[in-house]
Amino acid sequence: MAIKKVWIDEDACTGCGLCEDTCPDVFEVDDVAKVKEDADFDEFEDEIREAADDCPGEAIHYEEE
Ligand code: SF4
């Protein structure tokens, strides 16, 4: 299944930066993580899943179709 939407639960994000290290083409972290507007979810599907699995706050969510 393809990932069609990715979002961050900002209340759960600690701003640790791990998601940006894992996939800087999709995530950027300032105080909290954000999903880049032009992110290509198809190209970085594996990295998005890895970032969500590894997020210490379980703050990364995605929707598949
Ligand atoms: S890995 Fe999780 S807690 Fe860390 S910056 Fe990214 S979304 Fe926030």
Question: Domain range for residue 49?
Answer: 3-64
Q: Is residue 52 a contact partner of residue 61, using CB atoms and an 8 Å limit?
A: yes
**CB 19 near ligand 1, within 6 Å:** yes
Mean pLDDT value of segment 21-45: 98
Q: How many domains does the chain have?
A: 1
Tell me the residue ranges of DSSP E strands in 1-65: 3-8, 27-29, 33-35, 60-64
Q: How far is the CA of 65 from the centre of ligand 1 (A)?
A: 24
Distance CA 59, CA 43 (A): 21
Ligand 1 atom 4: residue of nearest CA: 16
Ligand 1 atom 8: residue of nearest CA: 13
Q: Which residue has the tokens 């972290």?
A: 29
Mean pLDDT value of segment 36-40: 97
Its pTM stands at 0.96
Strand partners, 3: 64
What single-letter DSSP state applies at residue 22?
Answer: H
pLDDT, tens digit, for every residue of 53-63? 999 999 999 99
Ligand 1 atom 2: residue of nearest CA: 55
| Domain at 35, CATH number | 3.30.70.20
